[in-house]
Amino acid sequence: MLNDLQITEQVRRELEWDPSVRDNEIAVIVRSGVVTLGGTVDSFAVKANAARAAERVRGVQAVADELHVVIPTAHVRSDTDIAHAVVSALKWNVQVPADRIKVRVDEGWVTLDGTVTWEFQRKAAARTVRELTGVHGVRNLLTLQTSASPADVRHRIEDAMKRQAELEAADIAVEVVDGCVTLKGRVHSSFARGLAEQAAWSAPGVAAVDDRLKLQF
Protein backbone atom coordinates (compact mmCIF):
# COMPACT_ATOMS: atom_id res chain seq x y z
CA MET A 1 0.00 0.00 0.00
CA LEU A 2 1.38 3.40 -1.00
CA ASN A 3 1.84 6.12 1.62
CA ASP A 4 0.80 9.76 1.08
CA LEU A 5 4.27 10.84 -0.06
CA GLN A 6 4.42 8.09 -2.68
CA ILE A 7 0.89 8.87 -3.88
CA THR A 8 1.81 12.55 -4.19
CA GLU A 9 4.78 11.69 -6.40
CA GLN A 10 2.72 9.32 -8.55
CA VAL A 11 -0.04 11.90 -9.04
CA ARG A 12 2.48 14.55 -10.05
CA ARG A 13 4.06 12.16 -12.56
CA GLU A 14 0.63 11.29 -13.97
CA LEU A 15 -0.19 14.99 -14.42
CA GLU A 16 3.15 15.59 -16.14
CA TRP A 17 2.59 12.58 -18.39
CA ASP A 18 -0.93 13.58 -19.53
CA PRO A 19 -0.51 15.89 -22.57
CA SER A 20 -3.85 17.62 -21.90
CA VAL A 21 -2.65 18.75 -18.46
CA ARG A 22 1.14 18.94 -18.35
CA ASP A 23 1.61 22.61 -19.35
CA ASN A 24 -0.32 23.87 -16.31
CA GLU A 25 1.08 24.45 -12.82
CA ILE A 26 -0.93 22.28 -10.44
CA ALA A 27 -0.24 21.80 -6.73
CA VAL A 28 -0.83 18.34 -5.26
CA ILE A 29 -1.52 17.64 -1.57
CA VAL A 30 -2.32 14.15 -0.26
CA ARG A 31 -3.64 13.25 3.18
CA SER A 32 -4.83 9.74 4.05
CA GLY A 33 -5.16 8.93 0.35
CA VAL A 34 -7.31 12.00 -0.41
CA VAL A 35 -5.78 14.14 -3.16
CA THR A 36 -6.35 17.90 -3.28
CA LEU A 37 -5.50 19.69 -6.52
CA GLY A 38 -4.86 23.44 -6.30
CA GLY A 39 -3.72 26.28 -8.53
CA THR A 40 -5.03 27.78 -11.76
CA VAL A 41 -5.58 26.26 -15.20
CA ASP A 42 -6.48 27.87 -18.50
CA SER A 43 -9.64 25.92 -19.36
CA PHE A 44 -12.49 23.93 -17.88
CA ALA A 45 -11.33 20.91 -19.92
CA VAL A 46 -7.91 20.95 -18.24
CA LYS A 47 -9.59 21.13 -14.83
CA ALA A 48 -11.66 18.02 -15.57
CA ASN A 49 -8.73 16.15 -17.15
CA ALA A 50 -6.50 16.85 -14.14
CA ALA A 51 -9.06 15.36 -11.75
CA ARG A 52 -9.42 12.26 -13.92
CA ALA A 53 -5.63 11.87 -14.10
CA ALA A 54 -5.38 11.94 -10.31
CA GLU A 55 -8.19 9.39 -9.97
CA ARG A 56 -6.25 6.94 -12.16
CA VAL A 57 -3.39 6.64 -9.65
CA ARG A 58 -3.31 3.56 -7.45
CA GLY A 59 -3.93 4.32 -3.78
CA VAL A 60 -6.05 7.42 -4.40
CA GLN A 61 -9.29 7.18 -2.42
CA ALA A 62 -10.82 10.53 -3.40
CA VAL A 63 -9.99 13.73 -5.29
CA ALA A 64 -10.85 17.25 -4.11
CA ASP A 65 -10.67 19.51 -7.17
CA GLU A 66 -9.92 23.07 -6.01
CA LEU A 67 -8.44 24.20 -9.31
CA HIS A 68 -9.54 27.63 -10.56
CA VAL A 69 -10.10 28.32 -14.24
CA VAL A 70 -8.60 31.57 -15.54
CA ILE A 71 -9.19 32.00 -19.24
CA PRO A 72 -6.55 34.03 -21.15
CA THR A 73 -7.83 37.39 -22.42
CA ALA A 74 -7.26 36.34 -26.02
CA HIS A 75 -9.75 33.47 -25.56
CA VAL A 76 -12.56 35.49 -23.97
CA ARG A 77 -15.81 35.31 -26.00
CA SER A 78 -19.24 36.85 -25.63
CA ASP A 79 -22.11 34.72 -24.34
CA THR A 80 -23.76 34.97 -27.75
CA ASP A 81 -20.67 33.59 -29.50
CA ILE A 82 -20.39 30.80 -26.95
CA ALA A 83 -24.08 29.91 -27.33
CA HIS A 84 -23.74 29.59 -31.11
CA ALA A 85 -20.59 27.50 -30.69
CA VAL A 86 -22.30 25.19 -28.17
CA VAL A 87 -25.35 24.59 -30.36
CA SER A 88 -23.14 23.87 -33.37
CA ALA A 89 -20.83 21.51 -31.44
CA LEU A 90 -23.75 19.52 -30.01
CA LYS A 91 -25.25 19.10 -33.49
CA TRP A 92 -21.96 17.74 -34.82
CA ASN A 93 -21.54 15.21 -32.01
CA VAL A 94 -23.30 12.00 -33.14
CA GLN A 95 -23.45 10.75 -29.54
CA VAL A 96 -25.66 13.63 -28.46
CA PRO A 97 -29.43 14.04 -29.18
CA ALA A 98 -29.03 17.78 -29.76
CA ASP A 99 -32.71 18.31 -30.53
CA ARG A 100 -33.57 17.34 -26.93
CA ILE A 101 -31.10 19.74 -25.28
CA LYS A 102 -31.70 23.37 -24.33
CA VAL A 103 -28.71 25.67 -23.87
CA ARG A 104 -28.28 28.76 -21.70
CA VAL A 105 -25.09 30.84 -21.34
CA ASP A 106 -24.43 33.32 -18.56
CA GLU A 107 -20.99 34.96 -18.20
CA GLY A 108 -19.25 31.99 -19.80
CA TRP A 109 -21.14 29.37 -17.77
CA VAL A 110 -23.16 26.98 -19.95
CA THR A 111 -26.30 25.29 -18.62
CA LEU A 112 -27.60 22.18 -20.40
CA ASP A 113 -31.22 21.18 -19.80
CA GLY A 114 -33.47 18.48 -21.26
CA THR A 115 -33.75 14.69 -21.29
CA VAL A 116 -31.58 11.91 -22.71
CA THR A 117 -31.78 8.11 -22.55
CA TRP A 118 -28.23 7.15 -21.64
CA GLU A 119 -25.65 8.46 -19.20
CA PHE A 120 -22.99 8.41 -21.95
CA GLN A 121 -25.12 10.93 -23.86
CA ARG A 122 -25.30 13.17 -20.79
CA LYS A 123 -21.53 12.99 -20.32
CA ALA A 124 -20.81 13.44 -24.04
CA ALA A 125 -22.85 16.64 -24.10
CA ALA A 126 -20.96 18.11 -21.14
CA ARG A 127 -17.59 17.00 -22.51
CA THR A 128 -18.31 18.57 -25.89
CA VAL A 129 -19.23 21.90 -24.29
CA ARG A 130 -16.44 22.22 -21.73
CA GLU A 131 -13.76 21.84 -24.42
CA LEU A 132 -14.97 24.93 -26.30
CA THR A 133 -12.94 28.14 -26.14
CA GLY A 134 -14.31 30.71 -23.69
CA VAL A 135 -16.38 28.30 -21.58
CA HIS A 136 -15.85 28.87 -17.84
CA GLY A 137 -17.86 25.86 -16.70
CA VAL A 138 -20.83 23.61 -17.37
CA ARG A 139 -23.99 23.03 -15.33
CA ASN A 140 -25.26 19.69 -16.57
CA LEU A 141 -28.97 19.53 -15.70
CA LEU A 142 -29.76 16.86 -18.30
CA THR A 143 -31.95 14.10 -16.86
CA LEU A 144 -32.32 10.47 -17.89
CA GLN A 145 -35.54 8.96 -19.16
CA THR A 146 -36.12 5.26 -19.84
CA SER A 147 -38.72 2.48 -19.53
CA ALA A 148 -36.25 -0.26 -18.50
CA SER A 149 -37.23 -2.31 -15.42
CA PRO A 150 -35.00 -2.39 -12.30
CA ALA A 151 -34.27 -6.10 -12.92
CA ASP A 152 -33.17 -5.36 -16.49
CA VAL A 153 -30.95 -2.47 -15.34
CA ARG A 154 -29.31 -4.65 -12.66
CA HIS A 155 -28.71 -7.46 -15.18
CA ARG A 156 -27.05 -5.09 -17.66
CA ILE A 157 -24.79 -3.63 -14.96
CA GLU A 158 -23.72 -7.06 -13.69
CA ASP A 159 -22.94 -8.21 -17.23
CA ALA A 160 -20.88 -5.06 -17.87
CA MET A 161 -18.83 -5.64 -14.71
CA LYS A 162 -18.17 -9.27 -15.63
CA ARG A 163 -16.58 -8.09 -18.88
CA GLN A 164 -14.09 -5.86 -17.02
CA ALA A 165 -10.76 -7.62 -16.45
CA GLU A 166 -9.92 -5.30 -13.54
CA LEU A 167 -13.09 -6.14 -11.61
CA GLU A 168 -14.01 -9.12 -9.48
CA ALA A 169 -17.73 -8.91 -10.19
CA ALA A 170 -18.51 -11.59 -7.60
CA ASP A 171 -17.32 -9.19 -4.88
CA ILE A 172 -19.80 -6.47 -5.91
CA ALA A 173 -23.53 -6.43 -5.15
CA VAL A 174 -25.85 -4.30 -7.28
CA GLU A 175 -29.19 -2.90 -6.09
CA VAL A 176 -31.55 -0.80 -8.24
CA VAL A 177 -34.45 1.26 -6.86
CA ASP A 178 -36.24 4.03 -8.80
CA GLY A 179 -33.27 4.67 -11.10
CA CYS A 180 -30.75 4.78 -8.24
CA VAL A 181 -28.03 2.12 -8.29
CA THR A 182 -26.29 1.12 -5.07
CA LEU A 183 -22.94 -0.68 -5.26
CA LYS A 184 -21.73 -2.66 -2.27
CA GLY A 185 -18.68 -4.86 -1.79
CA ARG A 186 -14.92 -4.61 -2.28
CA VAL A 187 -12.52 -3.35 -4.97
CA HIS A 188 -8.72 -3.36 -5.00
CA SER A 189 -8.11 0.17 -6.32
CA SER A 190 -9.66 3.56 -6.98
CA PHE A 191 -9.38 2.75 -10.70
CA ALA A 192 -11.45 -0.43 -10.20
CA ARG A 193 -14.01 1.59 -8.25
CA GLY A 194 -14.26 3.97 -11.21
CA LEU A 195 -14.82 1.05 -13.56
CA ALA A 196 -17.62 -0.26 -11.36
CA GLU A 197 -19.27 3.17 -11.30
CA GLN A 198 -18.87 3.43 -15.07
CA ALA A 199 -20.55 0.05 -15.50
CA ALA A 200 -23.43 1.25 -13.33
CA TRP A 201 -23.84 4.45 -15.31
CA SER A 202 -23.76 2.48 -18.58
CA ALA A 203 -27.28 1.12 -18.06
CA PRO A 204 -30.21 3.10 -19.52
CA GLY A 205 -32.10 5.39 -17.17
CA VAL A 206 -29.66 5.34 -14.25
CA ALA A 207 -30.19 8.67 -12.50
CA ALA A 208 -27.83 8.21 -9.54
CA VAL A 209 -25.10 5.87 -8.31
CA ASP A 210 -24.55 5.35 -4.58
CA ASP A 211 -21.01 3.99 -4.33
CA ARG A 212 -20.58 2.12 -1.04
CA LEU A 213 -17.65 0.05 -2.28
CA LYS A 214 -14.74 -0.41 0.10
CA LEU A 215 -11.14 -0.24 -1.01
CA GLN A 216 -9.07 -3.28 -0.15
CA PHE A 217 -5.48 -2.92 -1.37
- Of 100, 103, 99, 97, the C-alpha closest to 84 is 103
CATH of residue 54: 3.30.300.130
Residue 174 and residue 206 in one domain: yes
Q: What is the pTM of this model?
A: 0.56
Number of domains in the chain: 3
**CA distances to 39, 88, 104, 205 from 80, in Å:** 29, 12, 10, 33
Residue 115 and residue 93 in one domain: yes
Range of the domain at 167: 150-215
Residue 170 and residue 209 in one domain: yes
pLDDT, tens only, 68-124? 888 777 677 899 999 999 999 999 998 899 999 999 999 888 999 999 888 888 889
Who's near 172: CB < 8 A, 6+ residues apart?
A: 161, 183, 184, 185, 186, 187, 196, 213
Residue 49 and residue 13 in one domain: yes
Which of residues 113, 144, 175 is at a domain's end?
Answer: 144
Residue 10 and residue 58 in one domain: yes
**Over the chain, what is the mean pLDDT?**
87
